A and B are shown apart, each in its own frame.
Chain A
């Protein structure tokens, strides 16, 4: 150091003052023309809306809802921003945390939604959207805090199941969709004989692999151990180990396509959905989004075979209800600091009114939530899913949502590891316990 320290500090301080000054000037200038500037004075409101419908027909559907709302409310402009699903999940957290969030954003409910509510980040719409909440019934439970505050409204909910190629099943001589694990194993053998991959699986994304375990635990466990575990993170019930053993036994029959560990679920022709869409695989265990994904992976946008659906088979000796189902839903919330809370809440109700729900059902993206919306369902498979949802004694939330991102993520990883030969049924349960300790 050949210079007095003080002069360095002076230089640094001067530099800081200078640049901060410049930055401040820039901000003053920039804000005047900004989105938020044209706010309340003139009575006009601009709301921003983040959703995950980046592909058609979702893209046009969301835009049409926004346009319809503006047509009813000429003073309200809605800026729609579609963001890829996985990016959206982290972007919302960052935006809420950073204090500059969109007015309306995708909300998946559950533990994370409650955390956001308790942190004062999402708007309480219990009163302002009371009519829509009442029309919806029990569906809104997942978007409600344990204290009964509603912070979001779902617009679609659906259960998972096995999507299959009816033509290939007929070729293989399978007359009835399998209803037990034994029948499923039998179908796997017949499908192998005609040279197709019986079950398509996207192992690299992990959750598709874990879905097998979710469903087997639904069949092996009564409702209580899972709900209990979601709260207490106690995974000691032996039904969880049994679910892993069932999956290991099924995997031992080599039902999956070659290279399932490196296949993604939805991207490209080599993905698991791509294989099913192009007739190279016969079935896939998936959520209600599957038909839309499959159509997006063909050249024509349509499937050249008949798509069927059956609910996850029963397990002999399992304690769970064989009609129980699992699924999830998508909804929207308002930001607590939105400039127009009433308008925002009204828009949430507008999204789920019967007309918009019928239009949503007509797109074939999913199953609507508000009663009356199902009238728009044209797709036979989605109709079947809607009927089975209504007939299920109860619908469990996807386990990775029920257990939360951390434990749920550890579950997805551990199950995939087991299918790759690097974990065991007991090891999966141990991974769940380890992850729970991290919280």
Chain B
């Protein structure tokens, strides 16, 4: 972001420039804002602010409040239990397993999707035939809604479904599984499906990043005698760093909050061995009508995600987002 000198016509840029104030030329003070400007600010930010407070902050505050009660949703919460719900969540083997499953998705998504997407992006970035079609095919699963993809795979993956029939047809009978019911394979099934679903997104992100790398750099490298792979390893990938780091951030947060695919595929329950923190929350917060305990789990999920996001921003994204972060909020 460049240092925009706020003018009366662009009041919205003020806050973002404020964070970068330390190292950039200080923007002129605007203490003399006209009534009209303030009115405009109020008019433009007001509705969004109200919606944001009403649908984000208030629910978070309410969840934090309900998390201290045992409450089945009928009448007002009266049975205050302090931190009991939190203690119970962290001593419940099923919740600890759910955290492990999320950690598995976080790490495996990075390890599997990252290099694969990079490789595909590098290949597609060359001037090959049908490049547009490859891009379309790779991106199609991402555009598909999770619900539609989940239902489709749910029909393909049962023991008597198409996937096992194909494996049988290929003579791979020993590879047949109850992909959505056998606890020893369900996490791998979900991993493959989220990789299928989100690979296209990573590829498109990487391709966009590659467009911004000047051709002159690789031209200069080839004049100096660098081969194709050498150029990619020494020039393209390092310069793609900011894009890769942003993708990894999105992937980590997505994996931590993974809900829709497992929920639609097989409920994401303990018995099928692929429960995530979010499906655990849903199980208690909705089905079992334990709204207090469910709220506590929601708060845990929120705090974990926030902590990871903040640490990642501070340690990894710092270089890329210099100036775009608001300081001193947390």
User: Which positions in A face B, CB cutoff 8 Å?
Assistant: 1-4, 7, 10-12, 14-16, 18-20, 90, 93-94, 96-97, 112, 115-116, 118-121, 203-206, 258-263, 268, 270, 404-406, 409-410, 413, 416-417, 419-422, 434, 437-439
B73 contacts across to A, CB distance below 8 A:
93-94, 97
A19 and B158 contact, Cβ closer than 8 Å, known pairs A116-B74, A119-B74: no
A112 engages B181 (CB within 8 Å): no
20 additional A-B pairs beyond A93-B289, A203-B271, beta carbons within 8 Å, are A2-B21, A2-B26, A3-B14, A7-B38, A10-B38, A14-B39, A18-B43, A97-B73, A112-B72, A121-B75, A204-B180, A204-B181, A204-B266, A259-B178, A261-B181, A263-B181, A405-B287, A409-B283, A409-B288, A410-B288
A420 engages B290 (CB within 8 Å): no
* Contact pick for A405, options B29, B30, B269, B288, CB 8 Å: B288
B272 engages A262 (CB within 8 Å): yes
A-B contact pairs, 27 of them (CB 8 A): A2-B21, A3-B14, A3-B31, A7-B31, A7-B38, A14-B38, A19-B47, A93-B73, A93-B289, A94-B73, A96-B74, A115-B74, A115-B75, A119-B74, A204-B267, A258-B178, A259-B158, A263-B181, A270-B160, A405-B288, A405-B289, A406-B288, A416-B269, A417-B271, A438-B70, A438-B88, A438-B290
A406 engages B45 (CB within 8 Å): no
A15 engages B49 (CB within 8 Å): yes
B289 engages A406 (CB within 8 Å): yes
B289 engages A14 (CB within 8 Å): no
Chain A: minimal CB distance from B278 (Å): 16
A12 engages B49 (CB within 8 Å): yes
- The total of Cβ contacts below 8 Å across the A-B interface reads 150
Q: What separation, in Å, do the CA atoms of A188 and B153 have in the docked complex?
A: 31
Tell me whether B18 is interfacial, beta carbon within 8 Å. Answer: yes
Q: Which residue of A lies closest to B15 (CB)?
A: A3
A262 and B46 contact, Cβ closer than 8 Å, known pairs A93-B74, A270-B161, A439-B70: no
A14 and B183 contact, Cβ closer than 8 Å, known pairs A93-B73, A93-B74, A405-B72: no
A18 contacts across to B, CB distance below 8 A:
42-43, 46
A420 engages B271 (CB within 8 Å): yes
B74 engages A420 (CB within 8 Å): no
Tell me whether B41 is interfacial, beta carbon within 8 Å. Answer: yes
| 8 A Cβ contacts from B172-190 to A | 178-183
* Contact pick for A2, options B29, B50, B269, CB 8 Å: B29
Q: What separation, in Å, do the CA atoms of A90 and B73 have in the docked complex?
A: 10
A93 contacts across to B, CB distance below 8 A:
73-74, 289
A420 contacts across to B, CB distance below 8 A:
181, 183, 271-273
* Contact pick for B181, options A4, A11, A90, A259, CB 8 Å: A259
- The winner among A261, A410, A422 for most chain B CB atoms within 10 A is A261
Q: What separation, in Å, do the CA atoms of A268 and B152 have in the docked complex?
A: 13
Tell me whether B222 is interfacial, beta carbon within 8 Å. Answer: no
A203 contacts across to B, CB distance below 8 A:
181, 271
Q: Which residue of A lies closest to B293 (CB)?
A: A438
B38 engages A119 (CB within 8 Å): no
Q: Which residue of A lies closest to B31 (CB)?
A: A4
A206 and B178 contact, Cβ closer than 8 Å, known pairs A11-B42, A262-B158: no
Chain A: minimal CB distance from B113 (Å): 25
B183 contacts across to A, CB distance below 8 A:
420-422
A204 contacts across to B, CB distance below 8 A:
180-181, 266-267, 269, 272
Interface size on B, residues (CB 8 A): 52
B72 contacts across to A, CB distance below 8 A:
112, 115, 404-406
Q: What separation, in Å, do the CA atoms of A90 and B70 have in the docked complex?
A: 17
Q: Which residue of B lies closest to A113 (CB)?
A: B74
Q: What separation, in Å, do the CA atoms of A260 and B182 have in the docked complex?
A: 10
Q: What separation, in Å, do the CA atoms of A115 and B272 have in the docked complex?
A: 33
B46 contacts across to A, CB distance below 8 A:
14-16, 18-19
Chain A: minimal CB distance from B74 (Å): 4
B324 contacts across to A, CB distance below 8 A:
none
B230 contacts across to A, CB distance below 8 A:
none
Tell me whether B286 is interfacial, beta carbon within 8 Å. Answer: yes
Chain A: minimal CB distance from B92 (Å): 8
Q: What separation, in Å, do the CA atoms of A270 and B180 have in the docked complex?
A: 13
A409 and B287 contact, Cβ closer than 8 Å, known pairs A15-B42, A19-B46, A258-B160: yes
- Bits for B78-103, please: 1 = Cβ < 8 Å to A, else 0: 00000000001000100000000000
Q: What separation, in Å, do the CA atoms of A199 and B216 have in the docked complex?
A: 69
Q: Which residue of B lies closest to A90 (CB)?
A: B286
Tell me whether B27 is interfacial, beta carbon within 8 Å. Answer: yes
Chain A: minimal CB distance from B4 (Å): 13
B283 contacts across to A, CB distance below 8 A:
409, 413
Q: What separation, in Å, do the CA atoms of A410 and B50 have in the docked complex?
A: 39
Chain B: minimal CB distance from A300 (Å): 22
Q: Which residue of B lies closest to A415 (CB)?
A: B271
Chain B: minimal CB distance from A172 (Å): 21
* Contact pick for A206, options B21, B31, B47, B269, CB 8 Å: B269
B209 contacts across to A, CB distance below 8 A:
none
A112 and B74 contact, Cβ closer than 8 Å, known pairs A18-B43, A90-B286: yes
Tell me whether B254 is interfacial, beta carbon within 8 Å. Answer: no
A119 contacts across to B, CB distance below 8 A:
74-75
A20 contacts across to B, CB distance below 8 A:
50
A260 and B181 contact, Cβ closer than 8 Å, known pairs A15-B42, A112-B74: yes
B160 contacts across to A, CB distance below 8 A:
258-259, 270
A118 contacts across to B, CB distance below 8 A:
74-75
Q: What separation, in Å, do the CA atoms of A86 and B194 have in the docked complex?
A: 27
Q: Return the 4 tightest CB-CB contacts between A and B, nearest first.
A: A15-B46, A262-B181, A261-B181, A259-B159
Q: What separation, in Å, do the CA atoms of A195 and B269 have in the docked complex?
A: 31
Tell me whether B33 is interfacial, beta carbon within 8 Å. Answer: yes
Tell me whether B242 is interfacial, beta carbon within 8 Å. Answer: no
Q: Which residue of B lies closest to A118 (CB)?
A: B75
Q: Which residue of B lies closest to A12 (CB)?
A: B49
A405 contacts across to B, CB distance below 8 A:
72, 287-290
A112 engages B289 (CB within 8 Å): yes
Q: Which residue of A lies closest to B84 (CB)?
A: A438
| 8 A Cβ contacts from B26-82 to A | 26-27, 29-31, 33, 38-39, 41-43, 45-47, 49-50, 70, 72-75
A422 engages B270 (CB within 8 Å): yes
Q: What separation, in Å, do the CA atoms of A118 and B74 have in the docked complex?
A: 9
Q: What separation, in Å, do the CA atoms of A10 and B29 have in the docked complex?
A: 18
Q: Which residue of B lies closest to A418 (CB)?
A: B271
A3 and B273 contact, Cβ closer than 8 Å, known pairs A15-B45, A19-B50, A262-B181: no
